Amino acid sequence: MDVREAVESFLDSRHTLSPATQRGYTINLTIFATWCEAHGLALEQLTAKHVRQFVEDVSKRPGLKGSEHLHSATISKYAINVKTFLAWCSRDEEFEDSVSVKVVNHIALPRIEQQVIERFTPEQLQALLRATDKQLYDVRDKAIVSVLIDTGIRAAELCGLVLKCVWLDSDDSYIRVLGKGRKEREVPLGRAARIALRRYITRYRHPKNEAEQHVFIARGGKPLTVHGLLQVIEQLGERTRIRDVRVSPHTFRHTFAVQFLLNGGDIYKLSRLMGHTSVKITERYLQAVNAKQARSSNHSVLDNL
C-alpha cells in the first residue's frame, strides 16, 4: 500500500480541523510520504524503527532564521503527526490490514527541550503601545496591542474575532473567541483594552463590505489575516528596536500568562482563559514565575556578609 495514498485519505478525514492544523498535517505528512518513497517503504513495511529514523533525519534539517537545527517542539510535532496518522490507519477499514496497533504503540515521541519563556518587560509593552501612534492605522493597531496584552489570545483568534462576540459594557467587558478544536471561550477585558477597542470599533473601523463582521480590518477594507497581523507586530518591533526578545503575537501571549500568575491569578483559571486542553500545558508558565521570583529574592551570599 502506497504511503502517499494513505496520507491523502487521512488528510481528507481531517477537514473539520482548523486551517492551521490541517496545513501542519499536510506539510509534515507530505514530507514523511516523500521520505518513505525515497527509502522504498510501503505502508505495510513501516515499523517504529522507521519512524524513529525519519524523525532523526528531520531533526538534522536547518531551522528558521538561520538556526542550525529545528526546535525540539517542531521535531516532536513531526513524530506526533506521523503517529496520529498511523494510528488512524490502524483503525480505518481500508488501511487496517497494513498497520498494526502494535507498531503504533511502539512509536516513542521525542522529548521537548524546556526553554526560557520569552516575554516583554513592562517598559517594552509601554514602548509598543506608544509605537502604535506612529503606525498608519494607529487606532486599530493600539486596539490590537491592547487586546493581545490584556487577553493573551492567539493570532488566529484575534483575526477571527467578530463583532457579535465583543461585549464592551463598563461593568462586564469581554470577548468570545474560537480556539483550537473549534472550542469557544470567553476572555475578560480590562478598562484600557475596552476603551481602545471601543474607540476603534465605533469611530475608525471601515470594512469594504458593510455586512463584514470581523472586528479587525486590513488595508482595502477586508478582514485582517494572520499574515497581516504578523506584519503589524513586526513593524512595531522595528519602531521600538526591541532586540532581546522576539516581537510576535505569541510573545504577547507568553507575557499575559506569566503576568497573570505574578499578579496572583490561579493557574486553573489561566488554563481556561488561554484555551489549553490540559493544565499541564499551562504549568510551564508557573515554572517561569517561580524562576522569576527566585531571581528577585535577595539571597546573594556576598551582599549579605
The larger pLDDT score, comparing residue 180 to residue 239, is at 239
Active-site pick, 14, 71, 180, 246:
180
Do the beta carbons of residue 178 and residue 157 sit within 8 Å? Answer: yes
Active-site pick, 50, 154, 194, 205:
154
Least confident residue range of 48-52, 73-77, 186-190: 73-77
pLDDT higher than 90, residue 286: no
Exposed / middle / buried, residue 148 (Cβ in 10 Å: 0-12, 13-18, 19+):
buried
Active-site pick, 119, 142, 194, 253:
253
How many angstroms separate the CA atoms of 42 and 117, rounded?
Answer: 41
Q: 34 and 138, same structural domain?
A: no
Query: What does the DSSP assignment read for 73-142?
Result: HHHHHHHHHHHHHHHHHHHSTTTTTTS-HHHHHT-PPPPPPP-PPP---HHHHHHHHHHGGGSTTHHHHH
Q: 181 and 101, same structural domain?
A: no
111 in a structural domain: no
Q: Judge whether 154 counts as a catalytic residue.
A: yes
CATH number at residue 95: 1.10.150.130
Count of domains observed in the chain: 2
Mean pLDDT of 202-221: 93
pLDDT at residue 123 in the model: 95
pLDDT at residue 302 in the model: 44
Alpha-carbon 66 to chain mean position: 21
Q: Judge whether 102 counts as a catalytic residue.
A: no
Active-site pick, 25, 78, 137, 285:
285
Mean pLDDT of 196-202: 97
CA angle 97, 103, 109 (to 5 degrees): 140
Nearest to 241 by CA among 120, 128, 121: 128
Domain ranges, residue 51: 3-105
Active-site pick, 14, 222, 276, 284:
276
Do the beta carbons of residue 255 and residue 245 sit within 8 Å? Answer: no
Q: 160 and 74, same structural domain?
A: no
Q: Judge whether 276 counts as a catalytic residue.
A: yes
Q: 279 and 158, same structural domain?
A: yes
pLDDT at residue 9 in the model: 95
How many angstroms separate the CA atoms of 148 and 161, rounded?
Answer: 12
The three cell numbers locating residue 73? 517542539
Q: Judge whether 250 counts as a catalytic residue.
A: yes
How many angstroms separate the CA atoms of 135 and 240, rounded?
Answer: 12
How many angstroms separate the CA atoms of 45 and 60, rounded?
Answer: 24
pLDDT tens, position by position, 34-44 = 999 999 999 99
Q: 179 and 276, same structural domain?
A: yes
Q: 226 and 198, same structural domain?
A: yes
Active-site pick, 185, 214, 250, 292:
250
The mean of the pLDDT values for the chain is: 89
Alpha-carbon 214 to chain mean position: 20
Q: Judge whether 285 counts as a catalytic residue.
A: yes
302 in a structural domain: no
Least confident residue range of 68-82, 98-112, 186-200, 210-224: 68-82
Q: Judge whether 15 counts as a catalytic residue.
A: no
- Percentage of the chain surpassing pLDDT 70? 91
pLDDT higher than 70, residue 192: yes
Q: 162 and 101, same structural domain?
A: no
The larger pLDDT score, comparing residue 177 to residue 299, is at 177
Do the beta carbons of residue 13 and residue 88 sit within 8 Å? Answer: yes
pLDDT tens, position by position, 57-98 = 988 877 544 445 677 778 889 999 999 999 999 999 999 999
List Cβ<8 Å contacts ≥24 apart for 259-267.
Answer: 259/119, 260/152, 261/285, 261/286, 261/289, 262/289, 262/292
